Amino acid sequence: MAKLGVNIDHVATVRQARRTNEPDPVWAAALAELGGADAITVHLREDRRHIQDRDLELLKRTVTVKLNLELSCSSEVVDIACQVLPDQVTLVPERREEVTTEGGLDLLAQRQVATRAIQRLRAAGIEISLFLDPDLDQIAAAADLGAHAVELHTGQYALAPAGDPRDAQLCTLANAAAAVRHAGLTLHAGHGLTYRNVQPVAAIEGLCELNIGHSIVSRALMVGFQAAVREMKQLIDR
């Protein structure tokens, strides 16, 4: 059965909307653990738009499951990973203008930068996962570069309309998944997965880890909203 990594970036996004101290992603990590999360995932973006260095430091001290840090290959954030020592780093491409990670790493075009980041993280003893589109050439390159795992980008599957287009994307993911396993790499997947579309991906043979953020944080808001309003109303009425 695949493990669940819960991405808590959006909790920090809400906090950063006011530059205040709530909601705290460190609390969210603890609650995610109580809910059964097998890993906590955060993305320390170069522009620090959500997760802050302080969050990462506290998460390193408090998370008792696996801590998975998403990072670009830039030396500034790789330095931080080498100091903080999360259990795993997932290398992702990063563009300032993007709303979220848009595609997988291009290991063919950016081999040198990726190699440098992988070598440094490996030397620090950190497990390395590479976020890749379900593309066989990229997967072959990941094996050459000495990664431990590949996280297949499920975004195209998630965006495809139900029926033939989505089935075709699932087939592409399953073929890529087989290539990851045959290359001797651990298989992860994530991006855009929801309560409605997760199950066919979770059923892919050999899948070890799913990373899911947006849908879980969205659901948490909805299931918690009524209680939060009720508590405020009680305070006002008292």
CB of 71 to ligand PXP, least distance (A): 10
d(CA 233, CA 122): 52
Active site residue 148: no
Write down the catalytic residue from 148, 153, 188, 191: 191
Q: How many helices (H) and strands (E) does the chain have?
A: 10, 8
Active site residue 182: no
Is residue 111 within 8 A of residue 78, CB to CB? The reply is no
Residue partners of 140: CB distance under 8 A and separation at least 6: 179, 183
Binding residues for ligand PXP, rule: CB under 6 A, are: 7, 9, 43, 70, 90, 92, 100-101, 131, 151, 190-193, 211-215
Write down the catalytic residue from 10, 43, 148, 188: 43
Closest to ligand PXP by CB, 36 vs 227, is 36
Closest to ligand PXP by CB, 50 vs 181, is 50
Is residue 107 within 8 A of residue 146, CB to CB? The reply is no
CB of 193 to ligand PXP, least distance (A): 6
d(CA 71, CA 43): 6
Write down the catalytic residue from 10, 50, 70, 188: 70
Closest to ligand PXP by CB, 37 vs 231, is 37
Residue partners of 216: CB distance under 8 A and separation at least 6: 6, 7, 32
CB of 174 to ligand PXP, least distance (A): 18
CB of 101 to ligand PXP, least distance (A): 4
Closest to ligand PXP by CB, 55 vs 70, is 70
Classify the phi-psi angles of 184: left when phi > 0, otherwise alpha if psi is within -120 to 50, otherwise beta: left
Active site residue 50: no
What residues does 71 pair with on adjacent strands? 91
Residues involved in catalysis: 43, 70, 191
